[in-house]
Amino acid sequence: MAKWILKRIGADFNGLSKKHGVSPLFIRLLVNRGITDDTDIESYIHGNENLFHDPFLLKDMEGAVKFITDKIISGKKIRIVGDYDVDGVCASAVLKKGLDLAGADVDTRIPHRINDGYGLNENIIDEAHNDGIDTIITCDNGIAAVNEIEKAKRYGMSVVITDHHEVPFAETDNKKVYTMPPADYVVDPKREDDTYPCSGICGAYVAFKFIKGLLYGPCAAALPGYEKIKICRDELMSELTELAALATVADIMELTGENRELVKKGLALMADSKNTGLRALINRSGIKGKKITAYHCGYILGPCINASGRVDTAERALELLLSDDESLALIMATELSELNESRKTMTQNAIKEAVKYIEEKNMTSDKVLVVYIPDCHESVAGIVAGKVREKYSRPVFVVTDGAEGVKGSARSVESYNIYEEMTRVSDIFTKYGGHSQAAGFSMASADDVERLRDGLNKNCTLSFDELRDIMYIDADAPFAYCTPKLMDELEYMQPTGHGNKSCTFARKDVEILGKKVFGKDGIVGKYRVKDTTGEIAELTLFNRNEELESLLIGRYGETKVKDAFAGKGGITFSVAYHPSWNEYNGTRSLQLIVDDFC
Task: Report DSSP letters for 514-563, one per residue.
Answer: EEEEESGGG-EEEEEEE-TT--EEEEEEES-HHHHHHHHHHHH-HHHHHH
Radius of gyration of the chain (CA): 25
Annotation: CATH topology of 473-597: OB fold (Dihydrolipoamide Acetyltransferase, E2P) (2.40.50)
How many angstroms separate the CA atoms of 478 and 475, rounded?
Answer: 9
pLDDT of residue 414: 86
How many angstroms separate the CA atoms of 291 and 483, rounded?
Answer: 21
- What burial letters (b/e) apply to 262-285, b meaning 16+ CB within 10 Å? bbebbbebbeebbbbbbbbbbbbb
pLDDT of residue 249: 97
536-561 mean pLDDT: 95
List pLDDT tens digits, range 407-438: 999 999 989 999 999 999 999 999 888 778 88
pLDDT of residue 216: 98
pLDDT of residue 207: 98
The one-letter amino acid at 425: V
Out of 64-73, 105-114, 314-323, 433-442, which region has the weakest mean confidence (pLDDT)?
433-442
Q: Is the pLDDT of residue 349 over 80?
A: yes
CB 257 within 8 A of CB 198: yes
Assign 49 a pLDDT band (cuts: 50, 70, 90): very high
| Nearest alpha-carbon partner for 16 in 28, 32, 6 | 28
Assign 585 a pLDDT band (cuts: 50, 70, 90): confident
Assign 24 a pLDDT band (cuts: 50, 70, 90): very high
pLDDT of residue 65: 98
DSSP code of residue 367? S
CB atoms within 10 A of CB 522: 12
Assign 586 a pLDDT band (cuts: 50, 70, 90): confident
pLDDT of residue 510: 97
* pTM of the model as a whole: 0.89
Query: What are 529's strand-pairing partners?
Result: 512, 537
Please state the domain extents for the chain: 55-270, 274-340, 361-467, 473-597
User: Angle at Cα 191 formed by Cα 100 and Cα 33, nearest 5°?
Assistant: 95
List pLDDT tens digits, range 466-512: 898 889 999 999 999 999 999 999 999 999 999 999 999 999 999 99
List pLDDT tens digits, range 140-184: 999 999 999 999 999 999 999 999 998 988 878 788 889 999 999
pLDDT of residue 32: 96
Q: What does the DSSP assignment read for 199-257?
A: ----HHHHHHHHHHHHHHSTTGGGSTTHHHHHHHHHHHHHHHHHHHHHHHHHTT---SH
pLDDT of residue 118: 81
Go through the chain and tell me how many residues it has. Answer: 598
CB 298 within 8 A of CB 249: yes
How many angstroms separate the CA atoms of 399 and 382, rounded?
Answer: 10
pLDDT of residue 172: 80
- Give whole-number Cα distances, 466 to 249, 394, 414, in Å: 27, 10, 9
Sequence-ordered alpha helix ranges (H) in 33-85: 38-46, 61-73
DSSP code of residue 501? P
pLDDT of residue 63: 98
Q: Is the pLDDT of residue 225 over 80?
A: yes
List pLDDT tens digits, range 84-135: 999 999 999 999 999 999 999 999 999 988 788 788 999 999 999 999 999 9
201-208 mean pLDDT: 98
Q: Is the pLDDT of residue 548 over 90?
A: yes
pLDDT of residue 360: 94
- Give whole-number Cα distances, 150 to 127, 183, 221, 383, in Å: 15, 8, 33, 33
Q: What are the start-end ranges of the E strands in 424-522?
A: 429-434, 438-443, 470-473, 475-476, 505-518
pLDDT of residue 261: 97
CB 471 within 8 A of CB 595: yes
How many angstroms separate the CA atoms of 32 and 334, rounded?
Answer: 42
Whether a cis peptide bond, with omega within 30° of 0, leads into 395 is no
Assign 217 a pLDDT band (cuts: 50, 70, 90): very high
pLDDT of residue 317: 96
558-566 mean pLDDT: 96
CATH number of 55-270: 3.90.1640.30
Annotation: CATH topology of 361-467: Diaminopimelate Epimerase; Chain A, domain 1 (3.10.310)
pLDDT of residue 403: 79
